[in-house]
Structure 1
Amino acid sequence: MQRVFLYPLGMAALFGLAACVLPQGGAEPQTSGAADYAAFCAGCHGAGGVGDGEMAAGLAQKPADLTGLSARNGGLFPTTRVMAQIWGYTGGKEGDRVMPQFAALLDGALVPYDGGDGIETPTPVRLVELAEYLKVLQK
């Protein structure tokens, strides 16, 4: 009789422990613009954004100096153009794209974001975070 009673208790304890270890479905990982920059951009553009990353020497085209984006745009950060470049909507010919595509930055939650044109557009939150981080790198 005790065996019949202990079996359900043991199973309940086992499932309780498994719930502590198993990943939670639907939970999005914590990200930041700085972390995504380090993971996706710094290899080519460098930690400081000047285009001197570890992979830069092996590229046919030198990575852009991201610290001067505002200076080259009359003092205003060109958010919409930067996002279009990262997102892959640059209007170039097929095969002209130097930067890889970063699908991970485009997945997940969308947030309304004004890229500087006065229009709030649903934008992937990680792309917004990355653009906001790039603003910090400006000289």
Structure 2
Amino acid sequence: MATSCGVGLIALLALGAGNVMAEEETIGSDGYRMSCLSCHGVGGRGDGPLAKFLTPKPTDLTAISRNSTALRPSRKAGEFPFLRVFQVIDGRAAIEVHGDRAMPVWGNRYLMDQPGTPRGYAGEYEKVVRGRILELAYYIQSIQQ
């Protein structure tokens, strides 16, 4: 009896972990669909419906790891620059860029999506914004070629 309960519990935990993983992927992909797809395209290759109207052209997000050493030669080939991707999406952190920033500052836009911030709770809304950006960065990491 105890053995069958143990096996059943392990199976239940395995199913639960699968649901959590699927939910995490959905969260990141939903954020991508709402915030990035129009410029970067369904597959993230920079070929979205608005790409033809943009200068400079949107980045191929699937090649970030492959091209990561071009910006920082000390980085290992194929390494995903997670912090850099987070900072580019957030846009509120000071980062080096060449010329004007063409991509929207999603950190500010996500913050504006939050309802009126009651006095003393600004930190809570910032956590929500950072969570959304983290999920998006993880999703972009998952589409690397």
Q: Give the structure-1-normalised TM-score.
A: 0.62
The one of 119, 126, 136 equivalent to 1:130 is 136
The one of 101, 104, 110 equivalent to 2:127 is 110
Local SS of the residue matching 1:99: coil
Q: Which amino acid aligns with 1:91?
A: E
Whose helix fraction is larger, Structure 1's or Structure 2's? 2
Q: Does 1:86 align with 2:89?
A: yes
Cα deviation, residue 101, structure 1: 1.6
- 1:43 alignment partner in structure 2: 38
The one of 46, 53, 64 equivalent to 2:48 is 53
- 2:64 alignment partner in structure 1: 69
Local SS of the residue matching 1:133: helix
Cα deviation, residue 132, structure 1: 0.6
Q: Give the structure-2-normalised TM-score.
A: 0.60
Structure 1: 4+ residue segments shifted above 4 A:
none
Separation (CA, whole Å) in 2 of partners of 1:43 and 1:81? 22
CA RMSD of aligned residues (A): 2.2
Separation (CA, whole Å) in 1 of partners of 2:97 and 2:60? 20
**Who wins on radius of gyration, i.e. which is larger?**
1
Separation (CA, whole Å) in 2 of partners of 1:127 and 1:104? 11
Separation (CA, whole Å) in 2 of partners of 1:83 and 1:136? 14
Using the aligned pairs only, state the percent identity: 41
| Change in 2 beyond 3 A, CA 1:109/1:97 | closer
The number of equivalent residue pairs is: 97
Whose strand fraction is larger, Structure 1's or Structure 2's? 1
Cα displacement string for residues 78-131 of structure 1 (whole angstroms, at most 9, x for unaligned residues): 1111111111132347x71010122344563628xxxxxxxxxxx811111001
